[in-house]
Amino acid sequence: MSASSDSEAVFSGARAALLAACDEMERRLHGLVDSHGKVAEEIHQLRKLGKRLRGALAMVGEPKPCIRWIAVIGRMLGGSRDSMVRAKTWRSLGVDSTASGAVETAIRDLLDLEADASIRKPPAGVTEWSLAAVKQVKARIESQSDAEVAVKAAKGAALLRRRLKRRLKKALDRVTNEDFHDCRKAAKAWLGGLSIVAASLAVPAQEETEKLAGNLGDENDLEVLAVWLESRGFSPATAKTPWKVLRKRQEKIRRRSISLIRKDLLPALTGKGKD
């Protein structure tokens, strides 16, 4: 058996796994419709599944509009989760938010208010559109054979790995926020896609890639909080201490990410052989 055939055999269950992921997404969306209480955790799990599904769809060569349908679902549902993450990120800064009349207390209370108000289930129109989008994605996968999807998945996995390596090198060269954000997206697409189309595959540098994605996710959460602070009028001039802590935390995480990429992740990816 050729190396190409061996590779495709690893992805022989990709089509069934993709359809199962679509089924799970439909079940979770129906669960939101039927829910009578808080749905924050359900939405969180839905968004996580959506990110993995987007990676898998990219891996099997589905067109961008198809992948975008799943992305839109995450964005429509994301407001509630983002509010809770902002409040959690604020607490992680460890800034004293108890003094009466302090700007830090005002920030904490406003963040908590938005988080509490955002845990209700989404409007019916959102879930109905989401279900229709998943149905279209599912129909596209069903129209292909197991063999067709396996071939595409094998090629796509190698392509996404090479893309991740390129973006890591670019981030080290330029060290811009945009480049590190691209690294995070590439890492999540590669790992997320493989977690669906080849769940049993031993992934090279998986631990290092997951660690980097976590670091960059923490950095992104801090930047999301920074944007919120600015939008609410809590500028560095108005809230000096929180901004100082926030930026120092971002810098620390960035240094950790750069070290991880240079010392561990790129060598681990390259050590598996040239792509």
Residue 216 pLDDT greater than 70, yes or no: yes
Structural tokens at position 246: 């926030």
Maximal CA-CA distance, the chain = 73
In this prediction, residue 231 carries a pLDDT of 96
Looking at CATH, the fold of the domain delimited by 3-270 is given as CHAD domain (1.40.20)
CB atoms < 10 A from the CB of 273, how many?
Answer: 7
Quick: pLDDT tens for 101-123: 999 999 999 999 988 876 677 88
Residue 179 pLDDT greater than 50, yes or no: yes
Residue 274 pLDDT greater than 50, yes or no: no
Domain locations along the chain: 3-270
pTM over 0.85: yes
Q: What is the mean pLDDT of residues 178-185?
A: 94
Question: How does residue 270 score in pLDDT terms, banded at 50, 70 and 90?
Answer: confident
Quick: pLDDT tens for 48-68: 999 999 999 999 999 999 999
| Pairwise CA distance, residues 158 & 116, whole Å | 43
Q: What is the mean pLDDT of residues 242-263?
A: 96
